[in-house]
Structure 1
Amino acid sequence: MQEINRNLICRVSVDLAKRVYQVHAVDGFEKVVLARSMAPERFFEWCQSLQPGCVVAMESCSGAHHICRRLRSMGLDARILPAQHVGAYRVAGARSKNDATDAAAICEAASRPHLLAVPVKSAAQQGTLSIHKLREGFKEERTALINRIRGLLAEFGLVFAQSPDALHAALPDVLEDASNELPGDLRLALDRSLKHWGRLDEEMAWCEQRITQHARSDERAKKASELLGIGPITASAVVATVDDFTQFKSAKQFGGWTDLAPSQNSSGGKTKLGGITKRGDVYLRTLLIQGAKSAVMTAHKRKDPISLWLVQLKERVGWQKTIVALANKNARILWCVMTRGDRFDPNHVPKRSHAGEEVITRSAGAAA
């Protein structure tokens, strides 16, 4: 094999897999210098001979943040590109998808200045988010277990209220009741399921304890918790997901990044707005929506400007739109709180310019 002059390489892309990496490298004239697969350790050895500052791009996937941190420690400009935007640069299209064409598409996408890279998370960030993911996994498993128990009991004519607490309280008596038709083996199985339910509750409680501790120890999370509709779990998830809020130019851009902004189908100067796009971080958006629900439900009990606005908006546009509006408002306030160092003031009334547009002078002003 002919020796490659790696000093000519100016951009490298890598399509990641568990045991093999597909590498694509070009020089300053966009000529392909290397296109081959490598074992992971062989790839890192090869990267050590690249020029400092050489761009190494990859798609966002499992392990991408770890690989980026490792490459950056070598002095390379490692970048993570949004996977949903890379496919548009595949020359052969969707009908010719393989590791080689994917790596070439990543390399082409990395050359586009308008395609923003995904910020690389630190190990601490990923550790905090892992606790959140474990909690979500335990919650989904518990929900599936509850539904499974309900389905099995319904086969024998035993139907209970939809509340998990009601089922949990009634299940021991059902297992002890000899008058029902439950077979002995099923009673034993349901008893084991009930114990498994308890273990899942314990695991969720432990995760929530760690998340709450992070929310109380992190200064930015404590500031985020002061907002209406944002509790410890949401505050912890926000600061762990977005480490540097200054990467967004404005509160509006951050609100759009959470995909709480309306989708568009506009043409010919005619604006057509639809529902929210739902293309961003699903977990973070879900937490913002759930927190907004609690704030909207109790808005009539408070007299601050945001709560009064929520009451009026709910009467005008309905429950669901009010929730999304508050979630978007909270996202914008979060950007102001994190970038300007102010504290959230629920009683703050933003000033207005002569043109009638609001001028954001303090953190809560971004909400208007």
Structure 2
Amino acid sequence: MTYRLGLLDKSPLAAGDIAEAALARTVDFARRAEALGYHRFWVAEHHGFPGLGSSAPELLAAFVLAQTTRIRVGSGGVLLQHYSPYKVAESFNLLAALAPGRVDLGVGKAPGGFPQTTKALANGRSASDFADELALLELFLTQGPPEGHPLHGAAAKPTPTFAPERFLLGASQESALLAAKHGWAFVFAGHLNGDRKAMTEILGTYRQASGGQAPVLALATLAARTSAEAERQVADLKIVRVELDTGQSVNLGTEEQAAEFARQAGAASYRIEERRPRVVAGTPAQVHRELDQLSREFGIREFILDTPVASPAERFNSIELLAIGAPAAAA
């Protein structure tokens, strides 16, 4: 089965790291991905999280674009609830004009941080509906708001020759339907939600609503020279899911982070559940067999791979091993 491979990078800090080192590795990671034939390289958006250095994907993407020549670069993804759709359209139109034919705009609706961080990002802005924000962003990226719209006449300049390729990242039926409604590619966040039943239902919803468009699947993957080595590298990975008495739930990395999230949210009580994340791990042949199966089962033509380990050497080794014998190279 033929499919393309892309990468998602969160600029993780290794033990004892400084932010400058983590971000420099992201650039090195992108250069190596380009040399290996990966199709896309996306940078994430996280705010105030210990251990993650990527907080402004549009800025980091601009730097990565300047340090590469062919690979597509973008956001995985901009957390639209925090920003003006007009400003997001302007920023990515500018990137697309600077690097023609190489820019991706991925958006999502996760908070991306702790409650106080979310409050600081809002800074007095009233809460907005994600569906409305996405519709407005689509208008600014295309023909602009029509006559009669309150923002008619506002144009997100510059107008690039090649518009940013647009993706909606999510793990819900609602996100799949929104992507289909606006003609955006849908990326199922399988690296966050590995439930096979949910994946089947949500990807099926997108294909039906979009008229048969192929979705993109994001996965956590790790390749090593032996299956035992791969298993060792992912053995300590975990997700701590915290559920507040308000009904809100979120996935975090440690119990300490869960307690801090609950404190900032003002929860009177909370409970946590420790889970092991679903990681497609093994030798390159084993990982590609799993990708082949997913491609056949769900009609996937492109995967976005997240390598969840913090060790730089293990991350670089994994993408190099997976590039060998990959069924498709970058354009």
TM-score with structure 1 setting the length = 0.20
| Higher normalized strand content (fraction of residues) | 2
Larger radius of gyration: 1
* Structure ranking higher in helix proportion: 1
